[in-house]
Amino acid sequence: MKEAIEQIMKELAGLKAASQKEVEEARIRFLGKKGEVTALMEQFRTVAPELKREYGQKLNELKKAANARIEELKFSVEESEVAQAPKEDLSMPGDSFPLGSRHPVSIVRQQIVDIFRKFGYDVAEGPEIEDDYHVFEALNFPPNHPAREMQDTFFVSTGHVNPLLLRTHTSSVQVRTMEKQPLPIRVVCPGRVFRNEAISARAHCIFHQVEGLYIDKDVTFADLKQAILLFAREMFGPETQIRMRPSYFPFTEPSAEVDVSCNICHGKGCNICKGTGWLEIMGCGMVDPNVLKASGIDPNEYSGFAFGMGVERIAMLKWQVNDLRHYFENDMRFLGEFATATEV
Ligand code: DAH
């Protein structure tokens, strides 16, 4: 047996292999079920007890050596295969990384903000997790107004006087601005808002708004109308007309809803404007004296106007997208449509 072990050791040392196949053949020859090393291990049972210790040790060494040698061969075959592989073709075109584009909601939000910046408005932002005071109380919402109910608002914490909630509109940023900024104030406040709505083509629980606020001495409804007309013409084209319909918001008095002439049929009536020739774009009004007072502004000295619009709504009208859900699903086929739509 001793000689057999030495013989195999020698053979292992001289073993060569040119391919993975030959390495595998060598493995089977020595270590396979019927391999030479395996056969010796089996013979070990017949070794005289006084020699078992010595031979056992030798056999273990042999097995280890065989495994190591096979691994070594495997590694060197792999190395030489890599070295022999054809060199890369440097003239091949590279992988392309398609350029992303801005999301249509970001594009329109930026367009709205840019238009008002041209008119001299600053930009203000506020927290998305707000308190009841800034979203409702300071904006003159009566205590039992339905917007204060669970079914319309996502509450973060309840059970105390000023619960935390996800803001339902960016009008809360008006309040924060009035609290800290010296007068006169001229700001637009873009941001994300949250409402407890079932998701459909026309409603979503997350969307974006741009709020506007202008407070100074002698600000009138005529100033409001002019600001909105200028905005509408920048946004939808120089021929655009606006009309205002009386409405109600707790934080403005008087309040109005603004429609623009339909930019598809130019007032003739189509299915986008449902045959009316007009499209609703925002709410607005003169800031209610109670709102000014709540933020420490004297309504006898100052007056102001405010307006608020939905960014997705403006984007829908600009690009005739008839399902709000497209804006949140991140379907590349939809997003790719806006790759070049960066201009007003
Ligand atoms: N906050 C209103 C909403 O979310 C929008 C709005 C209407 C804002 C009239 C205003 C405004 O500032 O004057 O529906």
Pairing state of beta strands 122-123 and 185-194?
A: parallel
Mean pLDDT of 226-249: 96
| Span 111-127, pLDDT tens digits | 999 999 999 999 999 99
Q: Which atom of ligand 1 is nearest to the CA of 251?
A: 13
302 ligand 1 Cβ < 6 A:
no
Residue located nearest, by CA, to atom 7 of ligand 1: 283
Q: How far apart are CA 210 and CA 110, in angstroms?
A: 10
Q: Is the CB of 288 under 6 A from ligand 1?
A: no
Mutate to test the pocket of ligand 1, among 172, 185, 249 (most ligand atoms within 8 A of CB): 249
Report the pLDDT value the prediction gives residue 193, as an integer from 0 to 100: 97
So what's the pLDDT on residue 212?
Answer: 98
Compute the Cα dihedral for 258, 263, 267, 273 and give only its sign. negative
pLDDT of residue 82: 83
CA distances from 172 to 36, 191, 318 (A): 85, 11, 27
Comparing 99 with 287, the larger pLDDT belongs to 287
Nearest residue (by CA) to ligand 1, atom 4, is: 169
pTM of structure: 0.72
pLDDT at 142: 85
Q: How far is the CA of 182 from the centre of ligand 1 (A)?
A: 22
Pairwise CA distance, residues 88 & 330, whole Å: 37
Q: Is the pLDDT of residue 343 over 70?
A: no
Cα–ligand 1 centroid distance for 249 (angstroms): 7
Q: What is the mean pLDDT of the chain?
A: 91
312 has a pLDDT exceeding 50: yes
| Rounded-to-integer distance, Cα 202 and Cα 312, Å | 10
Q: Which atom of ligand 1 approaches the CA of 252 most closely?
A: 13
Average the pLDDT over each of 60-69, 131-140, 149-158, 294-303 and give the range with the smallest value.
149-158
- The gap between the terminal CA atoms of the chain, to the nearest Å, is 92
> Is residue 126 in contact with ligand 1, taking CB distance under 6 Å?
no
In this prediction, residue 1 carries a pLDDT of: 81
All residues at 6 or more sequence positions from 35 whose CB lies less than 8 Å from its CB, including other chains: 27, 28, 29
The residue whose CA has the least distance to atom 3 of ligand 1 is 169
Cβ of 278 below 6 Å from ligand 1: no
Q: Is pLDDT above 70 for 344? A: no
In angstroms, what is the span from residue 305 Cα to ligand 1's centroid? 11
Average of per-residue pLDDT across 15-42: 90
Do the beta carbons of residue 120 and residue 187 sit within 8 Å? Answer: no
Percentage, residues of the chain above pLDDT 70: 99
| 320 confidence band (pLDDT: 50, 70, 90) | confident
